[in-house]
Amino acid sequence: MRQKVVIANWKMNYDFHETTSFIRNFLKIVFERKINHNKKIIISPSFPFLHISNQILQGTTLNIAAQNIHHKDKGSYTGEVSAYMLKSIGVQNVILGHSERREFFFEKENILLEKIKIALKYNFNIIFCVGESSLERSNNKQFDIVKTQLKETVFHCTSDEVKSFYIAYEPIWAIGTGETATIEQAQTMHEFIRSLFFDKYGKNISDKVSILYGGSINDLNAKNLFSQKDIDGGLVGKSSLELEKLLKIIQS
């Protein structure tokens, strides 16, 4: 059985009070309704609140993730946060390669590979995002794009290292737009990604790697998406900011 995973990517939302009260309420309901069974639930708040969030979730099966790390350990990089620092407050997961990082912070595959290496050095699990733009899809380039994104980053890792990854397929045109990929588009891409893992690492690893879908997941479309054989969960943005919606997505 592949691990089922739901990740709440809160992006640059919620202050200290909003973060802590959401997590406390969420935790209470998750355990009351017992909806964490057989699933990995990861919440990704902003940097300043990772420590307190981790403390609140201490002793539970729920986890937190950082939304980014710098590609070096330490040094003169004003304003940056490293895996070395995050490790010291108990963070074990990081989202890398998100399209917003690629677009607004110009993160290319070479930097992403460095981030992967440093994350692995500190034993992080990595949620690695791939996905095409609408122009690339309209030119039928989506498979080439995703293949290149993986080839130049994740596929530099050994078969041992690659066990630390979750892959998130996030078509850029579906992120924050309310336009979700169709079940067929998502399943076809997930199957393709799994086949790339098969070609590179063999059946044992391709069978086990969890491939998540992301891009306008909500409480109404989650069930259909998650029922596909190669979709093992979701990376959820906007809908993860609403408690009941997030709970419903997890229950899907």
Question: Would you please indicate which residues are annotated as catalytic (active-site) residues?
Answer: 98, 170
Asked if 45 interacts with ligand PGA (CB under 6 A), we say no
Please check whether residue 3 is in contact with residue 40, taking contact to mean a CB–CB distance below 8 angstroms: yes
Residue list 137-176, contact with ligand PGA (CB under 6 A) = 170, 175-176
Token pair of 124 as six digits: 């992080």
Is the distance from CB of 8 to CB of 26 less than 8 angstroms?
no
Q: Which stretch binds ligand PGA (CB under 6 A): 85-93, 109-117, 200-208, 210-218?
A: 210-218
Choices 51-59, 73-81, 82-90, 214-222; region in contact with ligand PGA by CB under 6 A: 214-222
Helix 142-151 with 183-201: angle, nearest 10 deg:
40
What is the three-state SS of 34-45? CCCCCEEEEEEC
Encoded tokens for 110: 């070479």
* 19 vs 216 by CB, closer to ligand PGA: 216
Q: Which of 26, 214, 221, 249 binds ligand PGA (CB under 6 A)?
A: 214
Interface pattern 220-249 for ligand PGA (x via CB under 6 A): ---------------xxxxx----------
Return d(Cα 202, Cα 196) in angstroms, integer: 9
| Phi, psi torsion values for 219, nearest 5 degrees | -70, -15
Asked if residue 131 binds ligand PGA (CB under 6 A), the reply is no
Q: Under the criterion CB under 6 A, does residue 216 sit at the interface with ligand PGA?
A: yes
Secondary structure percentages of the chain, helix, strand, coil, to 5: 50, 15, 35
**Which residues partner with 63 through β-bridges?**
42
List the one residue from 45, 131, 171, 215 that touches ligand PGA (CB under 6 A).
215
Q: Which is nearer to ligand PGA, 30 or 225 (CB)?
A: 225
Instruction: Using CB under 6 A, list all residues that contact ligand PGA.
Output: 9, 170, 175-176, 214-217, 235-239
